[in-house]
Structure 1
Amino acid sequence: MSRARCERCLRPSGHCLCPLIPELPSRTRVLVLQHPSEVGHALNTARLAALGLNNAELRVGEVFEDLPELLARPGYRAHLLFPADDAQPLQPYGMTDEPLLLVVPDGTWRKARKLLHLNPLLAALPRVTLEAASPSRYRLRKAPGPGALSTLEAIVQALEVLEAPASFEPLLRPFESLIEGQIAAMGAETYQRNHLKP
């Protein structure tokens, strides 16, 4: 028999994160395209981002048939937050800049690349990247590289560049709580043995 869970944050009822999830406005529209393999992940950070931002949407799939409609939002310029040789570093909005529709693939690097491969329209978008990403707070996953961030962290950092001096730090509160809960569940000794850098 499965445990009762919150239908909003998808956490077990006793560990519901909803009281920690903010409702933040943003000038930027965020569209997260989540690979199906991420949906059941215990640390589903893309869902936390979509719940905490008023101007965000989360779609799950591999092929997005309605991608042309999703990208054609009046008043927004669609850009893909994903590394590439020609990716432009994000810059703060100027006074007259049209805001971005920031498209963020969510999955492992391999799954995210697959989303781009299966959705040529997505791969064709102009790309943007974080010039100097802060270190990840994701203490439970081994990052593939020094600049690797969880989806939620990448979104927070991107918005804080674009919409400076606005702070999107409250989006990280449920994320931090989730990580602390996972560490507590595994026990300090197990965490130190398997996750702390020597």
Structure 2
Amino acid sequence: MNRFLSLYAERKAAATTTFKGRGARRVRCETCQMPQQHCFCDQAILQTSHCGFALLMHNMEVLRPSNTGRFIADIIPDTHAFIWQRTEPCQALLNLCHQQQWQPYVVFPAHFSEPQRVHHDIAPPQGQKPLFIMLDGSWREARKMFHQSPWLDQFPVISINPEQASRYGLRSSPVKGQWATAEVAAQLLAMNGEHNNAKLLEQRFKSFTQQTLAGRNHQ
């Protein structure tokens, strides 16, 4: 079961207004959210993985066609999705994190956290698998989520050190260190030794960018 799609359906059903962001008027595939003529659902093939992802999503991010976190769920079977709440912890996510099989890591740049909390290598205890908690939203939203979620402070922070700007071609001015969620996830997969899964996710992200730009040019 694709948990992102389940969350998307719940969020869409609960919405009291129609999403009016860029591209909102286009007729889209209900699954991949691409314009129908650029649907690439046939490329979504689940792989074997020894890690999990938990998308902690800003309320509006779930509905954005530009969201890239959803592509993780197309590749990695243990991908979960939750809505972030400013006023209370996400108990469902905490329940997942406290399952014995997982070692949770909050994925965020190191300089926003206490040094003793930061890990640069993935080394879960024996018998456990890494669970990467991704704060999925705009950069401003992700920072807000990180600083206003003290209930996540119990978990270590895993940080990557990208040496180049994001290849997210849909942004007008990519900033070094501010990567799309799918790009960060691909880096984490590579760090965990899952290089084939990393390449597959990178390719899905690349196809998404190319297809979106092609759609804009056609429009």
**2:93 equivalent to 1:67:** yes
> Superposition pairs for residues 82-101 of structure 1, below 5 Å?
82-85=108-111, 86=115, 87-91=118-122, 93=123, 96=126, 98-101=128-131
Question: Which residue of structure 1 aligns with residue 7 of structure 2?
Answer: none
Question: Which residue of structure 2 aligns with residue 22 of structure 1?
Answer: 45
3-state DSSP class of the match of 2:65?
A: coil
3-state DSSP class of the match of 1:39?
A: helix
3-state DSSP class of the match of 2:171?
A: coil
1:50 and 1:58 in contact (8 A); partners too: no
Question: Which residue of structure 1 aligns with residue 192 of structure 2?
Answer: 162
Q: TM-score, normalised by structure 1?
A: 0.79
2:183 and 2:202 in contact (8 A); partners too: yes
2:72 and 2:201 in contact (8 A); partners too: yes
Quote the Cα distance in structure 1 between the aligned partners of 2:92 and 2:26. Answer: 34
3-state DSSP class of the match of 2:63?
A: coil
**2:215 equivalent to 1:185:** yes
**Which one-letter code corresponds to 2:33 in the other structure?**
L
**Which one-letter code corresponds to 1:89 in the other structure?**
H
> Superposition pairs for residues 21-170 of structure 1, below 5 Å?
21-63=44-86, 64-85=90-111, 86=115, 87-91=118-122, 93=123, 96=126, 98-133=128-163, 135-142=165-172, 145-164=175-194, 166-170=196-200
Q: TM-score, normalised by structure 2?
A: 0.72
Deviations 1:29-81 (A, max 9, x none): 11111112222323210111122211211223335243321211222111111
Deviations 1:3-33 (A, max 9, x none): 6543322334333221122312211111111
Long gaps (5+) in structure 2: 1-24
Name the CA shift for 1:124/1:47 in 2 (closer, same or farther; >3 Å). same
Ranked by relative contact order (alpha carbons within 8 Å, sequence separation 6 or more), the top structure is 1
Number of positions where the alignment pairs a residue of Structure 1 with one of Structure 2: 186
Name the CA shift for 1:145/1:14 in 2 (closer, same or farther; >3 Å). closer
Which stretch shifts more, 138-147 or 21-30? 138-147
Name the CA shift for 1:162/1:152 in 2 (closer, same or farther; >3 Å). same
1:34 and 1:60 in contact (8 A); partners too: yes
Long gaps (5+) in structure 1: 189-198
